[in-house]
Structure 1
Amino acid sequence: MAGPGIGKSTLIEAITERLSAEMIVVQIHGSSALSRVPFGILAPYTAELTAEDSVSPVAVLRSVWSYFEKLKAGKNTPLLLMMDDAHHLDEATAGIVADMISAGWASVVAAGRPRPGLPQALAQLWYDGLADRVDLRPLNREQIEEVLAHALDGTVPAGTVDTIWNASGGNPRILDALLHDAAEGGQLAKRNGIWMLLGPLPADGPRLSNVVVKDMLRRTPEEQEALKLISLAGPVSRKVIEDISGAEVVRSLLDQQMVVESQGSPADLRIWNALFGDALRLTISVSRSLQLRERIQGHLGSSPTGSEGKLRAVEWALECGLKTPEPELLEAAHTALDHFRSRSSRTMAAKVVSPALVPQAHAIHARALYNEGDFTGAAKLLDGCWLELGSGAGAAPVLMLRALAHQALGTPLAVFAAESRESLGGFGAKDCAETRNDDAPQDDSDADARPGTAWQEQLLRLLELGEAGNCEGLDREVQDLRIRTPGSTTDDALRAVGGALLAQSLAASGRAVQGLDAALKAAAELPALEGGVFFFNEYVLGRLVAGHLATGDWESAERELADYATEHPRAAAAFGGSLEVLRGYSLLRQGRIERAYQTLLPAVETLRLSDPLQFFRFGSSLAFYVASRLGDAAQSSRLELDYKDAAQGSAVQELLATAYAAAGSEYVARDGKGLAALHTLATIPEVSARSGTLLELLSLCWDLGDHSVIPLVHSLAGNVEGRWAAAMLTLAEHWESGDADSLMETAAKLETEGFVNVAREAYARASSVLESAGERRRSRQAVALREKCDHELGERFREGRFIAAAPTVHLTRREQDIVELAVQGLTDREIAQRLMVSVRTVEGHLYRTYVKLGVRSRDELSTALAH
């Protein structure tokens, strides 16, 4: 049992092919046209019956059985009846089939839809225990990932998997059409070994269009019209469609799962799959669309309720070439922006020409361009509208978006702030000149007191203090904002920005625990800022996650990322590259270098297309570092160029990016120049004043084998907050002591606390000390424990060449099942028989598992899985 397109027919065909050599297979296909004709689909087997006998169950059963006996030709071969679309069987035929099953004359496999379901006679077999029911579900994300791994040669990042999964709804028929259309249309393309979506999935592709056309041909004219109305107007009230097409038609479409109904009252209808609905709309001519619009208008009454309904109403009007009131255009453009439908948003915003609404429309248009990576176009629009917005609720988000757009273009913050102040002053002077008498005295001291200028100056000051890492100045500004009563929406925005920048600055200065408190307070301002053109949620989230990482709380960082993705799925898709950079950074800090590499490479390619948080340079430096550390010369060379060519991000990110790039260069050349660059970087005021950043930089030197930094780590780590700094302090203390017993105890403690990479270094140091002391047995024990840490970190082959093509270290459910049986010693054929798959499938899964786990044979699987 399964809905449309889930794979019933494909499964029927596969079973037929598999069993045709062992059984006599008879195929019967249900038909909606014959669903009310008794024994209609059995006509090929009852042609010799008279008109009277053709409606007699006994006569029909004898005729069908006689036909089956001819097929058997006296052999004792079992009979298998394969029935597709069994939900269309008439009751009389269903009764005949049920009798055959009950008598043991034939085995039957019937495929049908749960709504309306099988005829009563067949359903009763299940209730009586004479039949098994198997419900086919849409493919889940893991299964979609497995399909893509089979279909595509290369790495498929999480963002691509998520987008295709959500668009297809897990429906195999839609999935197949999407993959072909997107690949042929260029939307799905391979970039540097990674499959990326370069644009929205196409609704006008030939494969998907063919699916829609074929599906519509199976519908009655009344059902076709209802589906067209729902696709054009949806979400639309069920009552409206029932008034036009009839309640029976609506029930039929619901039974066939072609439309879905929302919860609540009044209930809304929409097409079961959004992309299917888009494709269906594209098959409707403008003239026909106008006719349907005129037909439904009289039933709609007032304008649609809900933001999605209003958005669709405006889009439909534009598709028909109708004029739409500009306030409705503006509202719809904003809704489209909230749904990350940037093309639709900017199309509607561009049609607004009313002087009073143009600044807001330009702001929305600019954010849509920003989402698409057109920072130049976004900056140009924002430069022209930010002053016109004055001090309204949307003004602060626009100025923040303008700041990031200019940052993306490489404009230094100092230059941006100076130009903004100059523009602000000129705008204020012009405004005052229009309201003063020509003879009135001019007094520049009034500038700061003019309404609408104070908050802009404060926002620019917050950005400058954040760039300088001035924690005390930021704290004063934020405290001042918090005591304002009553606070405006602009104050909420300033508090969120100030708190986020304070959190970042505190973490960099070694006060990450205090920084987390500041970030959490900033997060408390976010509910009041929903719906603006700036992404405050993500702006704060990035600094909150970085704060957790600075303290060494890897679990909390991952929890924040996971919770965000669950609560904001649309935004998580748009900001996926930035989120994956943070996740890769977390893995890197934990010492899970191979997993970091497999996370960061796709993230960098995603950011190449869309980088709203300006993480590309930072992400490229991290990816360059891990590629160099793992010996992937080709990737490291490319990533180094990416890093060098990218525009600079925030000051803190830039310092870290420079440090990781220098360390990466040292891993590549091993000539001491990268290490020297790190030492030089550690002495500049911007780093030496930031204890947290400096400690991270020194840890990079330590990883490179430079033990001269250990005394510096010892003296510095005690002044840095967080569990990670405490772990580094503990390691430095016992490293310098040279006490093997103390080192072993320290390593064990660090391992249990989750700092496996730090524990590994302690075990390595202990083994060296014990070896020097002649205690070879204990030294070997320390080496074994160090190797155990390597296994846990996923670095079994740190000295070998890393296989860059491995898409992920996560094993699918099928791969886990096969590997577990392989470890038990079963052969490929035995595994295939146990799991009811082909030997070739087993071999393919095992090969991909070897690549993912970094092993070379079955013999190494048990070791790889042990940890």
Structure 2
Amino acid sequence: MNAIDYKSRRKSSEYQDLLHVVSTPEPSGALVLGGVGMGKTSLVDAVMTSTGLSEPAMTLYCSPTLAAVPYGVLSPYLDALASVDEPVQVLREINHVLASVPDSDQPRIVVVEDAQYLDAQSCFVLSTLMENAAIKLIALGAGVLESESIVGQLAQSPLMSTIVVQPLDVSGIRTVAESMLGGTLSESSVGTIHRLSGGNPSFVEALIASSLEQGLLIQDKEMDYGPSAPQGIWLLSQDTIGVDSRLTNLVSEIQRLSTEDERRTLELLALGGPAPKLVLDGGRLEYRRMIDAGQLHELPDDTVALASELHRRVLRLMVPAQRSAELYDSWQQCTSELGMEQSASHVLWGLEVGQSFPTERILDAASSALDEGNYPLAWELCRAGNVAHSSGHGALFEADVLLGLGRFESARNILLRFVGTAKAPHLLTSAFSQLLVVVTNLGNNLPLMRDYIQQWKEWVSSLPSDAESAKAVMDQQFAQQLLDLWVRVNSIDGQFPEAKEFERIINDPNFPDEGQIIARLMYCDAESVVGHSERALSIAQEAIELIADAPKTRALYETRLMFLQCWNLLQLGENQKAQQLLDTYRYGGERFGVQHQGAVVLMLGLSDLLQGRNQSALRRFAEAVTELRFGDPAQVLTFARNLHAMAHELGGSLGTGTASGALESKPEPPELMGETPSRQRVFARASAATIGRPQGSEKLKDFPVFERMALAHKISHLPDEELAGSKDLRRLIELCDEHEGTKSQLLLQLSKYRAQSEPQPLEELAQKAFRSQEVLIGVEALARAAVRYSEAGESRTCGTLLRQASRVVNEQRINPNKYVARALALTELTAREAEIVQLALSGKNNAQIARVLTVSQRTVEGHLYRVFSKLGISERSELVVAELDFGTAQ
């Protein structure tokens, strides 16, 4: 790992602990432990650099061969000795070598690499030198050393500190990656790199370098990311990195530095996937030390896996075929003796080494992978077992897997071939159902949807009159109902279905499960944009319960449901619950991977926007757009584009029916992957109306929640006296009165209190808003209360409230609107006031300040009185803790 990467460690406990060892004058040393590639050497280099040392006085390299030779690791420095039988002679010679190092005020550092192979005699010499304060000993070892080992006994010395280098966290990975890229990395890409690397810095470096060469890391400079990322943002477009020489060399080095037992364990876990501890113990395989070293990690189901997914992929390709077959046979024997069935990963391994399995067994294994949400594994099993050509069930299953992976065109091709050849009614019904799922995810191609429905109708009309045929006819009729509703919800100027139409479907016990889920999604969409957020959340929860045990539908709809849940929680003012939900999905995982993260970043941006963090929202919306170009399972790309425009134009008026000049000057963005299906969605249309680009004859008032957002923003800039008789204010009060949740009630109270002259209700409302984490409403209420107090001559109370508002603005990184900014300016100090405050803070009394400034003491007292009023304080001592704003006031 390069030295630049240790920026990610400088605040870590490992860095601080080693720095203390090197810096303290007392005799001391450190045993630094960690897996291969974890950055132990870089940690030492970084600490030495910070203390002014360019390199160690002595670096010793241990090896298994030298471990059997007395003083073997010291032998390069003992050439002058005819014999090394006497420890005293060896000590004297090493002291002589160290004495030849130029004098320095800094300690002499001796670094021992691969200290697990240190021989006993060398260990004795080094320990003695450390105890005599002749050196600072830093021993670097792989993994966790056994207490009975030589260096393990060294660690028991009271002079030695044991430091275990941990894998990088998300923040550390961002630092390493951005140091290499020279730019900002997207949030979801950081999460993907964390998952692929397992936090191993060497894998992070290799992954970044390989992805750059393979064109998988792309820098987007088209979107406006705001001042925090003026050069754009880097995005990892996919998590399937091609295995190149850089990666194979790294994995080869890890294998070389591992023991035979460790190598065997790594290979087995790479080939067969996560393994139960029972099996590892049965095979007498080493794994506990590697868990402690960060190379392996324990999963919740008491299995063990490689910490780095990239390590697993590369090593899996590197194991020779014969070696793989031998390992498979031994693994099979072990699991058979324990009476354990093969996992899905082991079935795939068996297929790869030439084992034969019945199609039913392969499908069972693939189904098991789906149950775990592992669609890539299910797809590999389908390909290796050729299940699409084995049976009708196999073809439909493969189409299901492709749908779960978001590969809709590939699924469509399989289904069209199947529809042209299949005969069984229940299978054909499934195929037509899947085709409708495909086209609703590919776009609003109404002719194609109707064509499939017509084909389906013609097919069922030709069926004989029996029970199975009757079921097929009913399913087709259900699909027709569902499609009719879908068109009305997801079409410009479509007439929204009434609630009873959705209720009719979701209360019908005969309606297919997937149709029930789709109906609830549409119902939730409709309720969400009209302000029935509590009802929408209830509907979403019902859909979540339906997908809980259905892997395919979970993969298809979980992102959309996450989006709907979070939207409605934020609109209700349930900000903490929304954040907890996003934290569940943030940075992805095997089940909720890179293709879903654009929707997560989008909702993080919306949370920022609703709380006035406009710059943060702008960056996150831009990042979401970039992410969603590569995968948009929730179909929110156009919505993200519109929200980005909304954040960009917050200085103007939203929802006035016309776009601002900046928006008008921009051409419509080209249709990219995922753009077409999202443009007709209700959230996209609603947000388009909010920025003055309504679709068809639609208007902002057709989408009440968005109208509420736009009106609240519009009137928040205005002084209260300008709102007398305002239609906008009356309409906002009407909307807030109709809508559900804390946010609406707070906005309602704020709107009503603005028509009153008393400041106290606004002050109380602000504290109530802060308790609900509605900081933007709270800051505005404080500012308006403060202005009222100022107008009433209560300048000190005004200053107190504005100090609190200023503190919240800074802590929450809020971009205050025009009204709040003007109010906060009341606390700015003039140049003379600032000068007097600085002199007061230096300890001078009023008389001394007057002499320095050559003014009267009364003038100084007058200035301080005005400062105290602006800041809402009453004593000079409070200046120390006051948030001073030395503005430009004259």
Does residue 175 of the first structure (1) align with residue 207 of the second (2)?
Answer: no
Name whichever of 209-218 and 187-196 sits farther off.
209-218
1:480 and 2:507 correspond: yes
Letter of the 2:746 counterpart: A
CA deviation digits over 1:569-613, x for unaligned, max 9?
A: 631543111122122222222332122112211111110001011
Identity across the alignment (%):
20
Deviations 1:607-647 (A, max 9, x none): 00010110101111101221233699999977952689644
**Which of the residues 319, 341, 344 maps onto 1:310?**
344
Question: In structure 2, do the counterparts of structure 1 residues 449 and 614 end up closer, same or farther at CA, with 3 Å as the change threshold?
Answer: closer
Report if the CA contact (8 A) 2:436-2:452 is conserved. no
Q: Deviations 1:786-843 (Å, cap 9, x if unpaired)?
A: 76665455245878xxxxxxxxxxxxxxxxxxxxxxxx99xxxxxxxxxxxxxxxxxx
CA contact (8 A) 2:299 2:305 kept: no
Q: How many residues align?
A: 761
Cα pair 1:91 1:121 within 8 Å, conserved = yes
Aligned: 1:582 with 2:603: yes
Report the 3-state secondary structure (helix = DSSP H, G, I; strand = E; otherwise coil) of the residue aligned with 2:632: coil
- Displacement of 1:205 in angstroms is 2.2
TM-aligned CA deviation for residue 331 of structure 1: 4.2
What whole-Å deviation, never above 9, does each CA across 1:473-517 have from its counterpart, x for those lacking one?
245325624xx4xx8xx7554444444433332333332223323
Change (3 A) 1:709 1:453: same
CA distance, structure 2, for counterparts of residue 781 and residue 385 of structure 1: 73
2:456 corresponding residue in structure 1: 424
d(CA) in 1 for partners of 2:103 and 2:178?
Answer: 47
Match of 2:831 in 1: none
Q: Secondary structure at the match of 1:112?
A: strand
Check 1:183–1:304 CA distance in 2 against 1; reply closer, same or farther (3 A cut).
Answer: farther
1:592 and 2:595 correspond: no
Q: Is this contact kept in 2: 1:496–1:522, CA < 8 A?
A: yes
1:311-354 per-position Cα deviation (integer Å, ceiling 9, x unaligned): 34325634x56665433444455556632428736744765302
CA change 1:327–1:703 in 2 (3 A) is farther
Q: Is the 8 A contact 1:702 1:709 kept in 2?
A: yes
Match of 2:315 in 1: 280
Q: Which residue of 1 aligns with 2:862?
A: none
Q: Does 1:344 align with 2:373?
A: no
CA distance in 1, matches of 2:73, 2:661: 65
Other-structure match for 1:160: 189
Q: Map 1:339-488 to 2 at 5 A.
A: 339-341=374-376, 344=380, 347-348=383-384, 352-367=388-403, 370=406, 374-382=407-415, 402-403=435-436, 405-411=438-444, 415=447, 418-432=450-464, 450=473, 452-453=475-476, 455-457=478-480, 459-460=482-483, 463=486, 468-474=495-501, 476-477=503-504, 480-481=507-508, 484=509
**1:852: which partner in 2?**
none
Match of 1:81 among 104, 110, 115: 110
Residue 364 of structure 1 aligns to a residue in which SS? Answer: helix
Q: CA deviation at 1:164?
A: 0.8
2:72 alignment partner in structure 1: 40
Greater Cα shift, 617-626 or 745-754:
745-754
Q: What's the secondary structure of 1:202's corresponding residue?
A: coil
Residue 132 of structure 1: SS of its match in structure 2?
strand
Question: Does the 8 Å contact 1:349/1:362 carry over to 2?
Answer: no
Q: Distance in 2 between matches of 1:285 and 1:420?
A: 48
User: What SS does the corresponding residue of 1:528 show, helix, strand or coil?
Assistant: coil
- The equivalent of 2:228 in structure 1 is none
Q: State whether residues 61 and 73 of structure 2, in contact with CA within 8 Å, keep that contact through their aligned partners in structure 1.
A: yes
- Deviation of 1:656 (Å): 1.9
**What is the distance in 2 between the residues matched to 1:639 and 1:155?**
27
Distance 2:551 2:405 in 1: 20
- Counterpart of 1:849 in structure 2 is none
Secondary structure at the counterpart of residue 36 of structure 2: coil
Q: Which runs of 5+ in 2 are unaligned?
A: 1-32, 222-231, 653-659, 819-840, 843-881, 886-890
Matched with 2:752 is 733
Closer, same or farther in 2 for the Cα pair 1:75/1:19, shift >3 Å? closer
- Confirm whether residue 509 of structure 1 aligns to residue 530 of structure 2: yes
Q: Please, which of 36, 44, 62 is the counterpart of residue 30 of structure 1?
A: 62
Give the counterpart letter for 1:589 in structure 2: L
Cα shift at 1:89: 0.5
Is the CA contact (8 Å cut-off) linking 1:621 and 1:657 kept in structure 2?
Answer: yes
Q: Which residue of 2 aligns with 1:54?
A: 84
- Residue in 1 aligned with 2:776? 757
Relative to structure 1, the CA distance from residue 16 to residue 716 in structure 2 (aligned partners, 3 Å threshold; closer, same or farther) is closer
Change (3 A) 1:791 1:708: farther
TM-score, normalisation: structure 2:
0.72
- Partner Cα separation in structure 2 for residue 768 and residue 78 of structure 1: 62
Q: Please tell me whether the aligned partners of residues 578 and 615 of structure 1 are also in contact (alpha carbons under 8 angstroms).
A: yes
Secondary structure of 1:654's aligned partner:
helix
* Counterpart residue type for residue 601 of structure 2: E
Q: Please give the alpha-carbon distance, in whole angstroms, between the structure 2 residues aligned to 1:316 and 1:862.
A: 68
Partner residue, 1:829: none
Matching residue's letter, 2:592: A
1:431 CA displacement: 3.0
Post-superposition offset of 1:88? 1.0
84-93 or 560-569: bigger deviation: 560-569
Distance 1:29 1:118, change over 3 A: farther
User: What RMSD in Å do the two structures reach over aligned CA positions?
Assistant: 4.8
Change beyond 3 A, Cα 1:56–1:792: closer
The answer to whether structure 1 residue 205 and structure 2 residue 241 are counterparts is no
- 8 Å contact from structure 1 (residues 465, 474) kept in 2: no
Greater helix percent: which structure?
1
In the superposition, relative to structure 1, how do residues 8 and 408 fare at CA in structure 2: closer, same or farther (>3 Å)? same
2:873 — aligned with what?
none
Alpha-carbon distance between aligned partners in 2 of 1:635 and 1:349, rounded to the nearest angstrom: 53
CA contact 2:807–2:883 (8 Å) conserved in 1 = no
- Does the CA contact (< 8 Å) of 1:504 and 1:547 recur in 2? no
Give yes or no for the alignment of 1:144 onto 2:177. no
Question: What amino acid does structure 2 have at the position aligned with 1:38?
Answer: P
Rounded Cα–Cα distance in structure 2 between residues aligned with 1:335 and 1:634: 52
CA distance in 2, matches of 1:36, 1:635: 75
Retained in 2: the 8 A contact 1:334–1:364? no
Query: Could you tell me which of 689, 695, 711 is aligned with 2:708?
Result: 695
Contact 1:203–1:275 (Cα < 8 Å) also in 2 = no
In structure 1, C-alpha distance between the alignment counterparts of 2:287 and 2:781, rounded to whole Å: 69
Distance 1:33 1:743, change over 3 A: same
Q: Partners in 2 of 1:89 and 1:636 — Cα distance?
A: 72
Indicate whether 1:711 and 2:747 are aligned.
no
CA distance 1:261–1:724, change in 2 (3 Å): closer
Runs of 5+ in structure 1 lacking a partner?
437-445, 663-673, 800-823, 826-860
Q: Which amino acid aligns with 1:510?
A: G
Deviations 1:546-576 (A, max 9, x none): 2212322222222222234599663154311
CA distance in 2, matches of 1:425, 1:284: 53
TM-score, structure 1 as length reference:
0.74
3-state DSSP class of the match of 1:163? Answer: helix
Preserved contact between residue 764 and residue 783 of structure 1 (Cα < 8 Å)? yes
The aligned counterpart of 2:225 is: none
Alignment-derived partner of residue 41 in structure 2: 9
Task: Return the alpha-carbon distance in structure 2 between the equivalents of residues 229 and 567 of structure 1.
Answer: 26
